[in-house]
């Protein structure tokens, strides 16, 4: 009998090539799925067998595919090293250290990533400042799947992939991408963060089927690098500390590349660093095969989205600005009343500004004159006044003698120095 069993075992081993331990531990089903954990993966991902990782405060330091069997609560954050892929298996990774980055993938995480194959529910409560705080018992913000609570710093050299992960409850810098490679976020949700950004992309990133909403940040997504999107993308419903819409912020002339077609429920609210005017719209995307403009919205009501040539989505001004004041003229005069043809050197002078108030406004406004040296502010002076509507007046703003050469003079009308909302088209000498 004994011999028969061992023969059978030998036979089974030969047939299945299963390690002996797998047979001995018949209750342990191997943890297998693709990196994206999708049943209908269209990306040719291979099915991997993931090894159990039981630590409660660290990630593996050897390349491989692992799944968490516990939540990871860390003081100093955890690091994903080159070649490590983690299935969070519905768990959370959270930093409890003050100001700590919860998860880093640096330095030189050539190929690494995170995924989740579960629909585990985590609950959060919203703090007064918009931050979502883990509250598994009675939180009313529900997150489906694994969550990383806190900032992430990604510095992949080649490719960092993140599938099915929630990045929630960070009051720092959000997900900060600082890589020479590419980062892919697929089916991820970034919500309930209240730092400077939920996603700060200073290096290339692609978003597929991602939702970024309910963050209270300076801007939820700040882009100053290559930025690709596809599928169902929501980047709307984020506000800044003043409660103003602040969603996708395109800086340094960056545009959105629609790498895969956007699906029906996409919703992208956008602003640009450059200021659009009626004649000079700002490109939001590159050229497209179809009109995607309906998916985009302007964060600022002074601007609107249009579909430009080659289906480039653009931001343009809604109406030419009408200001309550017009600056009629700007003259440079001496204390004796003589007019200068050009900006005098080695002496102080007076800037004479002639203004008409054309629209009703109450209260005092600021009539400002600024002197510049090649764009650098040298001096600034102002007069505060409340004019009757429909009248013009001239004011003389004294510019003291300056050691720095003055290359140009500008005049503005503002509501206040702090807010600096323009009340007139500026004038320049």
Give me the residues that bind Zn ion (CB under 5 A), please: 34, 36, 41, 43, 45, 67, 87, 89, 117
Residue placing its CB nearer to Zn ion in the complex, 33 or 254: 33
Tokens for 364, please give them. 């005092």
Distance of CA 84 to the CA centre of its chain: 26
Find tokens 């959000």 and name the residue: 174
Q: Is 93 exposed, middle or buried (0-12, 13-18, 19+ CB in 10 A)?
A: buried
**Shortest approach of Zn ion to residue 162 CB, angstroms?**
13
Closer to Zn ion by Cβ: residue 111 or 425: 111
* Minimum CB distance to Zn ion, residue 201 (Å): 23
Using omega within 30 degrees of 0 as the cis cutoff, is the peptide bond preceding 107 cis?
yes
- Degrees (nearest 5) of the Cα angle 49, 105, 173? 130
Q: Residue 117 or residue 312: which is nearer to Zn ion going by CB?
A: 117
What is the closest distance, in whole angstroms, from the C-beta atom of residue 148 to Zn ion in the complex?
15
* CB of residue 134 to Zn ion, shortest distance in Å: 21
Q: How big is the CA angle at 60 (ends 181 and 119), to the nearest 5 degrees?
A: 80
Least distance (Å) between residue 293 CB and Zn ion: 30
Nearer to Zn ion, 67 or 227 (CB): 67
CB 129 within 8 A of CB 142: no
Which of 34/381 has CB closer to Zn ion?
A: 34
Give 119 or 403: the residue with its C-beta nearer to Zn ion. Answer: 119
Q: Min. distance of Cβ 32 from Zn ion in angstroms?
A: 8
Burial of 380 (0-12, 13-18, 19+ CB in 10 A): middle
**C-beta of 413: minimal distance to Zn ion in Å?**
58
Min separation Cβ 51 and Zn ion, Å: 11
293 vs 314: CA distance, rounded Å? 8
Residue 117 or 155 having the CB closest to Zn ion: 117
Question: Nearer to Zn ion by C-beta: 41 or 239?
Answer: 41
28 vs 43 by CB, closer to Zn ion: 43
Q: How far is the CB of 163 from Zn ion (least distance, A)?
A: 8
CA distances from 83 to 14, 335, 352 (A): 31, 74, 68
**In 3D, which of 122, 246, 143 has the Cα closest to residue 189?**
143
């Amino acid at each position: 009998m004994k011999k028969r069993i061992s023969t059978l075992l030998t036979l089974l081993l030969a047939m299945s090539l299963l390690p002996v331990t797998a047979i001995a531990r018949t209750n342990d089903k191997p943890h297998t799925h693709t990196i994206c954990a999708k049943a209908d993966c269209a990306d040719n991902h291979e099915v991997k067998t993931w090894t159990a990782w039981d630590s409660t405060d660290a990630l593996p330091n050897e390349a491989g595919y692992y799944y968490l069997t516990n939540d990871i609560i860390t003081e100093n954050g955890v690091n994903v090293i080159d070649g490590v892929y983690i299935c969070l298996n519905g768990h959370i990774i959270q930093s409890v250290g003050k100001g700590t980055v919860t998860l880093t993938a640096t330095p030189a995480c050539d190929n690494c990533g995170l995924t989740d194959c579960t629909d585990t529910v985590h609950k959060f409560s919203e703090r007064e400042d918009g931050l979502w705080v883990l509250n598994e018992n009675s939180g009313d913000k529900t997150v489906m799947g694994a969550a990383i609570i806190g900032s992430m710093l990604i510095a992949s050299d080649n490719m960092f992939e993140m599938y099915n992960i929630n990045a929630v409850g960070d009051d720092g810098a959000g997900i900060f991408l600082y890589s020479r490679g590419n980062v892919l976020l697929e089916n991820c949700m970034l919500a309930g963060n209240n730092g400077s950004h939920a996603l700060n992309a200073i290096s290339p990133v692609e978003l597929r089927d991602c939702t970024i909403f309910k963050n209270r940040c300076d801007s939820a997504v700040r882009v100053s690098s290559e930025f690709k999107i596809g599928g169902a993308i929501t980047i709307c419903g984020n506000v800044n500390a003043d409660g103003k819409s602040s969603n996708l912020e395109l800086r340094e002339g960056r545009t959105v590349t629609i790498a895969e077609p956007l699906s029906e429920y996409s919703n992208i609210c956008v602003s640009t660093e450059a200021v659009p005017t009626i004649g000079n719209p700002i490109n939001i995307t590159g050229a497209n095969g179809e009109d995607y403009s309906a998916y985009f919205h302007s964060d600022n009501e002074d601007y609107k989205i249009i579909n430009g040539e080659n289906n480039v989505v653009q931001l343009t001004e809604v109406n030419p600005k009408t200001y309550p004041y017009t600056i009629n003229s700007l003259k440079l005069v001496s204390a004796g009343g003589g007019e200068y043809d050009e900006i005098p050197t080695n002496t102080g002078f007076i800037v004479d500004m002639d203004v008409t108030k054309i629209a009703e406004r109450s209260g005092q406004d600021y009539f400002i004159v600024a002197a510049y040296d090649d764009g650098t502010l040298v001096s600034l002076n102002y007069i505060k006044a409340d004019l009757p509507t429909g009248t013009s007046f001239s004011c003389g703003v004294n510019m003291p003698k300056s050691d720095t050469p003055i290359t140009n003079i500008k005049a503005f009308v503002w509501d206040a120095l702090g807010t600096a909302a323009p009340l007139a088209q500026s004038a320049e000498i």
